[in-house]
Structure 1
Amino acid sequence: MAAKTLERFLPDEAATLRLGEDLAMALKAGDVLALRGDLGAGKSTLARALIRALADDAALDVPSPTFTLVQSYDTAPPVHHFDLYRLGDPSELDELGFEEAIDGGAALVEWPERAAGRLPATTLTIDLLHEGDGRTARLTGSDSVVERFARSLAMRDFLGRAGWGEASRRRFVGDASARSYEIVRLAGAPPRVLMNAPPLVLGPPVRGDKAYAEIAHTSRDIAAFVAVDKALAKAGVTVPEIYADDLGKGFALLEHLGSGSFLDAESRPMRERYAAAAELLAFMHAQRWSYDMEVRPGVRHVVPPFDRDAMMIEAELLVDWYVPAVTGAPAGEALRAAFRREWDALIDRLAGSETTLMLRDFHSPNIVWRGERAGLNRLGILDFQDALVGPPAYDVASLALDARVTVPEDIEQATLAAYIAARKEAGAFDEDHFREAYAIMAAQRNSKILGIFVRLDRRDGKPAYLKHLPRIRAYLRRAVAHPALAGLRAFYEEHGILEERVL
């Protein structure tokens, strides 16, 4: 396995504490960090900072495990701090539960040389070496491991260029993509959000010479986010101010719009807030958008279309992933051909329909409720880098059939009614055609999500998404109840797609 080395000069203890935070932000289950250095080199200081950052508790008691040999912490991921100085023999690692510890968590190991080759090949070794009045941290490991932690250090450098180099970093939220977010805090300033959006790596070709992301028009870098953010702000929509960005690396320092939820204390959707979000959609859909958007002088982003190929390849995730999961065998070509015929006919029905700036993931996790504000400013919008030019009904379906929240049918209908009323108030609006487009887009989106959530489990090792499948199937049953979708409903019923399943 190829080895790679990265060095970082730490002029003082504060820099060592920041390195601990930076390592924590990149840590994941299965990681082993071997800490080496003379007495007083800062191993325990580094470990303590990392653990406190994961726990989001700057005052957490993190005692040295010199006598207990291991201390464990219920963080995400769980982290286990080993001190092997008093280890009598490497075999004693079995008694300490070392392998079990890294099976579902991460390990920090002081005096790793006493493990005598028992550490995994993926271990990241961190040597702390005295240098002048400070120390140098030398990170050595496999290319992929070092590169992951190097990205976190690059994020610290980005913060430095933005004047926030001394900020604390804490995990905020991740999503089903490779993007993640952190809360960064600096004394005397409101907290900000650090966006980490690695440039998209295209997968293998799936249709002709094109990868899935090319056909589905998935954004490849944060230029799309910056462009759409500017366009929405100019139109009067509340989006995060962008204080700094690095288009090449995929970093952005953003305004923190708050954390107000669309859900009540029991995690149930709140009718009036969904209605307000529908009214915001109606406002946006009534605007005249330019789809050739400025990122910065000399850099532009052209919003792609939600065309037939994009709609189809998304819907086909159902036959690519969900059907094999519930039947135990890949979907046959006859089933695939019939599936495409049904969807081709439905996509034909959208021909000539109204199109708009379609944000694509307009649902509760991406909308902040700001109840102290008035009008449209009560809602802050967070996620729009994958925006396309497509049917407005898609975003309404994304909201009213929220993939992460069970929306009762009465709240779905109230959300639809609020949107329709606002569109009619703004001008001529064909309600019947909209309701048909809504049913088609709801069926397309929820077919796609069934496939995505199974893929997240089977391919990406994220089984938590399977708990959402019953909700998505229920939404799909609602969507195909529209008369225009009778053919698709019959096809889905014939192949058991709408049946309750346990995966």
Structure 2
Amino acid sequence: MTPDDRRQGLARWAEAQLGAAGLELAPASNDASFRRYWRLWHGERSLIAMDAPPEKEDSARFVRIAEMLRAIGLDVPEILAADLEQGFLLISDLGRASYLDVLDEASVGRLYGEALDALVVLQARAPRTGLPPYDEALLRRELGIFTEWLLDGLLGRSAAEIEGGPLAAVWDHLVANALEQPRVCVHRDFHSRNLMASAPGPGILDFQDAVIGPVTYDLVSLLRDCYIAWPPERVEEWARGYLDRAQQAGILRPGDEDRFTRWMDLMGIQRHLKAAGIFARLKLRDARPGYLGDIPRTLGYVMTVAPAYPELAPLVDLVGEQVLPACNGLIARQKTD
């Protein structure tokens, strides 16, 4: 079935659910997955129709986690109707403005404060049963996205050769750091494009891949965002604010602050390597070249943080001397094509 066929089928299904005719669906977001979102109007109310091809996406998981998060008081879409066999959902609309759309010096303090409050609720109150573990196998698969799609696919380097050299020890350090942290519910994409500036805020999207894993993963996703960067001193201030909240909520214990910075720094490096690999995959596999421009910012965090850790020196050398220059060259050529 073509995308247009699915759009027409989704429209007919939504009309049947709402008892309406002639609904018009307008694109509502540019998602990096196989899901597509459409905005429609029913009377005075805007709703979102979601198309998640069942062979590509698990809508049952989306519904289950949405209901779980709403039950603990987080602002996620309400499931109004669902046809899991077709992969069609009708959900409430959290608005048009993401954090990325509205973040500036005037708004960032309030918005990040609200996001950190929501993160603590997620970590302190979300059930820890029924979600898969963010275990060693998953961590290593994610690091493999960097080597397979960015090093090998985008830059033509042999992933097997690189992973078998000094980088293998770096991977071991990153995985061990993630596994030693306290375990909480992890959203896995808690950043400015998935947080909506809605009331009560923030509206939270793209939660269907939630797992039980490292306490600093979502924090570093927010504060060292792949799509927007803030001065290191601001990031440190927000991180301290989170640490206070987490200790008061019992998520972290007294004494964890001694390891907290390392936990966050190395967790961020693992995430940013994965994200850079995903951006390369979006360009190569999905013909979405715009994501190439997000790679330098994402790997820039690696170059800012990793030099403080001598055990990560092979990664610093690889990214700084080879990967970033090559990616910047590809971006420059893409702009002239």
Q: TM-score range by the shorter chain?
A: 0.7 to 0.9
- Mapped partners of 1:174, 1:263: distance in 2: 13
Pair 1:271-2:109 in alignment: yes
Q: Which amino acid aligns with 1:257?
A: L
1:236 positional shift? 1.0
Q: Secondary structure at the match of 1:157?
A: helix
What does 1:397-408 align with in structure 2 at a 5 Å threshold? 397-408=220-231
Retained in 2: the 8 A contact 1:323–1:497? Answer: no
Q: Which amino acid aligns with 2:38?
A: E
* Runs (5+) with no aligned partner, structure 2: 331-337
- Mapped partners of 1:490, 1:343: distance in 2: 11
Q: Which amino acid aligns with 1:345?
A: H
1:222 positional shift? 0.9
- Mapped partners of 1:337, 1:162: distance in 2: 54
Pair 1:457-2:283 in alignment: yes
TM-score computed with the length of structure 2 as normaliser:
0.87
Q: Which amino acid aligns with 2:144?
A: E
Among the aligned pairs, what percent are the same residue?
28
Match of 2:50 among 177, 195, 200: 195
Match of 1:490 among 314, 317, 327: 314
Retained in 2: the 8 A contact 1:156–1:165? Answer: no
CA deviation profile, 1:438-485 (whole Å, cap 9, x unmatched)? 1122111110111111221122211111111221121122332443xx
Does the C-alpha gap of structure 1 residues 426 and 482 become closer, same or farther in structure 2, counting only changes over 3 Å? farther
CA deviation profile, 1:150-173 (whole Å, cap 9, x unmatched)? 212221232133125422211111
Q: Which amino acid aligns with 1:185?
A: W
Q: In structure 2, what is the equivalent of residue 378 of structure 1? A: 201
1:420 positional shift? 0.9
Q: Secondary structure at the match of 2:6?
A: helix
Q: In structure 1, what is the equivalent of residue 263 of structure 2? A: 437
CA deviation profile, 1:7-32 (whole Å, cap 9, x unmatched)? xxxxxxxxxxxxxxxxxxxxxxxxxx
What does 1:34-113 align with in structure 2 at a 5 Å threshold? none
Relative to its length, the structure with more strand (as a share) is 1
Of residues 256-265 and 154-163 in structure 1, the stretch that sits farther from structure 2 once superposed is: 256-265
Q: In structure 2, what is the equivalent of residue 12 of structure 1? A: none
Say what the alpha-carbon RMSD is for the aligned residues: 2.3
CA deviation profile, 1:363-417 (whole Å, cap 9, x unmatched)? 11111123xx4xxx32111110111111121111111111122333233223212
Does the C-alpha gap of structure 1 residues 152 and 237 become closer, same or farther in structure 2, counting only changes over 3 Å? same
Retained in 2: the 8 A contact 1:397–1:438? Answer: yes
Q: Secondary structure at the match of 1:437?
A: helix
Match of 2:183 among 333, 352, 355: 355
Match of 1:173 among 18, 29, 43: 29
CA deviation profile, 1:70-108 (whole Å, cap 9, x unmatched)? xxxxxxxxxxxxxxxxxxxxxxxxxxxxxxxxxxxxxxx
Pair 1:239-2:76 in alignment: yes
Q: Which amino acid aligns with 1:194?
A: A
1:329 positional shift? 2.9
- Mapped partners of 2:75, 2:15: distance in 1: 27
Tell which has more relative contact order, 1 or 2 (C-alpha 8 A, sep 6+).
Answer: 2
Pair 1:502-2:326 in alignment: no
Does the C-alpha gap of structure 1 residues 200 and 401 become closer, same or farther in structure 2, counting only changes over 3 Å? farther
Pair 1:472-2:298 in alignment: yes
Retained in 1: the 8 A contact 2:11–2:25? Answer: no
Relative to its length, the structure with more helix (as a share) is 2
Q: In structure 2, what is the equivalent of residue 60 of structure 1? A: none
Q: Which amino acid aligns with 1:390?
A: G
Q: Which amino acid aligns with 2:245?
A: A
Q: In structure 1, what is the equivalent of residue 163 of structure 2? A: 336
Q: In structure 1, what is the equivalent of residue 334 of structure 2? A: none
- Mapped partners of 1:164, 1:493: distance in 2: 61
Q: Secondary structure at the match of 2:228?
A: coil
- Mapped partners of 1:313, 1:288: distance in 2: 25
1:288 positional shift? 5.3
1:341 positional shift? 3.0
* Runs (5+) with no aligned partner, structure 1: 1-143, 202-219, 293-302
Q: Secondary structure at the match of 1:316?
A: helix
Retained in 2: the 8 A contact 1:320–1:330? Answer: no
- Mapped partners of 2:76, 2:315: distance in 1: 41
Does the C-alpha gap of structure 1 residues 443 and 266 become closer, same or farther in structure 2, counting only changes over 3 Å? closer
| Greater C-alpha radius of gyration | 1
Q: Which amino acid aligns with 1:362?
A: F
Retained in 1: the 8 A contact 2:152–2:159? Answer: no
CA deviation profile, 1:335-379 (whole Å, cap 9, x unmatched)? 111333321233123334211111111111111123xx4xxx321
Q: In structure 1, what is the equivalent of residue 92 of structure 2? A: 255
- Mapped partners of 1:469, 1:352: distance in 2: 28
Does the C-alpha gap of structure 1 residues 200 and 400 become closer, same or farther in structure 2, counting only changes over 3 Å? farther
Q: Which amino acid aligns with 1:282?
A: V
1:174 positional shift? 2.3
Q: Secondary structure at the match of 1:441?
A: helix
- Mapped partners of 1:280, 1:381: distance in 2: 9
Q: In structure 2, what is the equivalent of residue 306 of structure 1? A: 134
Q: In structure 2, what is the equivalent of residue 151 of structure 1? A: 6
1:263 positional shift? 4.6
Pair 1:391-2:214 in alignment: yes
Pair 1:281-2:119 in alignment: yes
Q: Which amino acid aligns with 1:382?
A: L
Retained in 1: the 8 A contact 2:174–2:267? Answer: no
1:223 positional shift? 0.9
- Mapped partners of 1:437, 1:401: distance in 2: 14
Q: Which amino acid aligns with 1:369?
A: A
TM-score computed with the length of structure 1 as normaliser:
0.59
Of residues 403-412 and 356-365 in structure 1, the stretch that sits farther from structure 2 once superposed is: 403-412
Retained in 1: the 8 A contact 2:49–2:89? Answer: yes
Q: In structure 2, what is the equivalent of residue 161 of structure 1? A: 16
Q: In structure 1, what is the equivalent of residue 38 of structure 2? A: 182
1:234 positional shift? 0.8
1:247 positional shift? 1.2
Retained in 2: the 8 A contact 1:312–1:340? Answer: no
1:488 positional shift? 2.3
Q: Which amino acid aligns with 1:403?
A: C
Of residues 338-347 and 150-159 in structure 1, the stretch that sits farther from structure 2 once superposed is: 338-347
